[in-house]
């Protein structure tokens, strides 16, 4: 009735959606046919660039899509982000719509603005049947997006086993890396997709191929604590000593992250327990820094060098003291750690706990005969720094164990420091 009264057939609403667009969106087949018969603009897009055909494909209205194509709708007309009707149908996994589009010569490799192809998005979404259709119709199996992420890579990242299998069977390049240097195996290891990892290895993926940071698949599996993946990689001759660009080993990162089972697995396979990173920190050092007691015990039991220093001269005991890890400190002392070993500035374990205010650790060190008056290179004593930091309990503890309150730094004794800082309680302790 409205059309017969000469209503504007292409008049859009405030979002630039035409009557034909709205009818296609809602799947009103008879209305669509009527509008087309009365010469509605079949390719008129809304403000996003979305055409009537694209919205019909998005909504899965197969009959409407078929009708539009028969009336010569532009089958490859994209919205502003580069999405074609085929791309949208692949996102949704609508196989019937996809079949119609392919049969009518839709561009099977037409990418969106990010470089993702219809095959890429089908792999990402895990639409196995769609992937098979696209491959059978000569989709480019190695077409990567703007970040060099391939369909195989994204399928491995998402853990879509059947899709990965199909891609490999159709000769996808198994070691094709993204722009960071990360391979399909690398990303599968990171995500812990065990079945995918096994399939990639079985098809000769490079188990030692590193990303730009130098991190190998084994390295990233150790970082994430994926024990089964680690076992698989070691069994397939992954290089257990391979470090990243900062000389961080798989064992080091497993110790840092407290992945106890992974640590045990690496040690049992002859990982170097004393391999240091570029700062000189060993696996034991980082485990002590983090306070991971189980890992520490495992390392000690496997002959880790307990007094091995970083490039600044800090020992594992020093860092455990600095962090206030009471149990770790006691473990290290029980294992014959050098209780008075200083860093390059002459800072002893006792000095650093007095500075940081870790009273319980101070007690442990004193009870184990730490040198109570050991000065750092510039002359400050543990007592002086405890006064300066206003740690009253520690000052009292040191004085009760005969700390020398007359040792001066730059002409100042601990009492002078306490008076200067108006620390009346500490002044009282020192003067009594």
pLDDT 10s digits, 190-222: 999 999 999 999 999 999 999 999 999 999 999
Pair of tokens at residue 221? 């599996």
- Residues of the chain with pLDDT > 70, as a percent, come to 97
Q: How confident is the model at residue 14 (pLDDT cuts 50, 70, 90)?
A: low
The least confident of 13-22, 88-97, 263-272, 337-346 is: 13-22
| CA distance linking residue 36 with residue 18, whole number of Å | 12
User: pTM above the 0.85 mark?
Assistant: yes
Q: Is residue 284 part of a domain?
A: no
In the predicted structure, residue 5 carries a pLDDT above the cut 70: no
Torsions phi, psi of 245, nearest 5?
-65, -15
CATH number at residue 55: 1.25.40.20
Q: What is the pLDDT of residues 223-257, one digit of tens each?
A: 999 999 999 999 999 999 999 999 999 999 999 99
In the predicted model, is pLDDT for residue 333 greater than 70?
yes
The whole-angstrom separation of Cα 388 and Cα 384 is 6
Confidence band for 3, pLDDT divided at 50, 70 and 90: low
Residue 43: inside a domain: yes
Does 121 reside within a domain? Answer: no
Q: Are 124 and 87 in contact (CB under 8 A)?
A: no
Show the CA angle centred on residue 237, arms to residues 231 and 243, nearest 5°: 85
* Model confidence pLDDT, tens digit, residues 164-192: 999 999 999 999 999 999 999 999 999 99
Place of tokens 């650790």: 361
Give the integer Cα–Cα distance in Å for 59 and 99. 15
Asked if residue 33 belongs to a domain, the reply is yes
Q: Is residue 411 part of a domain?
A: no
Whether 100 is in a domain gets the answer yes
The residue segments making up the domain with residue 77 are 1-107
The pLDDT of residue 47 is 84
**Across-strand partners of 409?**
412
Round to whole Å and give the CA distance between 68 and 317.
75
For 42-72, what is each residue's pLDDT tens digit? 888 888 889 999 999 999 999 999 999 999 9
If one compares 122 and 421, the residue with the highest pLDDT of the two is 122
Number of domains making up the chain: 1
Domain contains 31: yes
Whether the pLDDT of residue 20 is over 90: the answer is no
Q: Where are the alpha helices (DSSP H) in 145-258?
A: 151-158, 161-169, 184-191, 194-202, 217-224, 227-235, 250-256
Q: In this structure, is residue 25 part of a structural domain?
A: yes
Query: How big is the CA angle at 83 (ends 81 and 89), to the nearest 5 degrees?
Result: 150
Q: Helix axis angle, 118-125 relative to 85-92, nearest 10°? A: 10
Rounded-to-integer distance, Cα 186 and Cα 349, Å: 41
């Amino acid at each position: 009735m409205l059309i017969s009264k000469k209503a504007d057939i292409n008049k859009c609403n405030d979002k630039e959606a035409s009557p034909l667009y709205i009818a296609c969106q809602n799947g009103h087949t008879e209305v669509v046919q009527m509008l087309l018969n009365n010469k509605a603009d079949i390719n008129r897009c809304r403000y996003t660039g979305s055409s009537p055909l694209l919205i019909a494909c998005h909504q899965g209205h197969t009959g409407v899509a078929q009708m539009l194509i028969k009336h010569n709708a532009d089958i490859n007309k994209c919205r502003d982000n580069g999405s074609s009707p085929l791309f949208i149908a692949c996102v949704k996994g609508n196989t019937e719509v996809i079949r119609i589009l392919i049969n009518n010569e839709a561009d099977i490799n037409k990418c969106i603005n990010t470089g993702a192809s219809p095959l890429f998005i089908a792999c990402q979404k895990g639409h196995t049947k769609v992937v098979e259709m696209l491959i059978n119709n000569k989709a480019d199996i190695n077409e990567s997006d703007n970040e060099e992420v391939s369909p195989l890579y994204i399928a491995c990242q998402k853990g879509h086993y059947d899709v990965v299998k199909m891609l490999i069977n159709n000769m996808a390049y198994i070691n094709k890396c993204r722009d960071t240097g990360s391979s399909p195996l690398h990303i599968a290891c990171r995500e812990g997709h065990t079945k995918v990892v096994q399939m990639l290895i079985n098809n000769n993926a490079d188990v030692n191929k590193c990303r730009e940071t130098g991190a190998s698949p084994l390295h990233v599996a150790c970082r994430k604590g994926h024990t089964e993946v680690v076992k698989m990689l070691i069994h397939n001759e992954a290089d257990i000593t391979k470090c990243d660009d900062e000389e961080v080993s798989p064992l080091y990162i497993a110790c840092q992250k407290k992945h106890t089972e992974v640590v045990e697995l690496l040690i049992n396979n002859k990982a170097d327990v004393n391999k240091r990173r570029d700062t000189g920190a060993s696996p034991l050092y980082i485990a002590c820094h983090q306070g991971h007691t189980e890992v520490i015990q495992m390392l000690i039991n496997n002959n880790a060098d307990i007094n091995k220093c970083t490039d600044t001269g800090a020992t594992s005991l020093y860092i455990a003291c600095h962090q206030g890890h009471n149990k770790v400190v006691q473990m290290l002392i029980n294992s014959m750690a050098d209780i008075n070993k200083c860093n390059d500035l002459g800072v002893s374990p006792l000095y650093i706990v007095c500075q940081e205010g870790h009273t319980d650790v101070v007690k442990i060190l004193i009870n184990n005969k730490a040198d109570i008056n050991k000065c750092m290179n510039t002359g400050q004593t543990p007592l002086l720094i405890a006064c300066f930091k206003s740690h009253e309990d520690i000052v009292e503890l040191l004085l009760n164990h005969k700390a020398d309150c007359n040792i001066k730094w730059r002409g100042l004794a601990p009492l002078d420091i306490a008076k200067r800082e108006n620390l009346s309680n500490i002044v009282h302790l020192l003067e009594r």
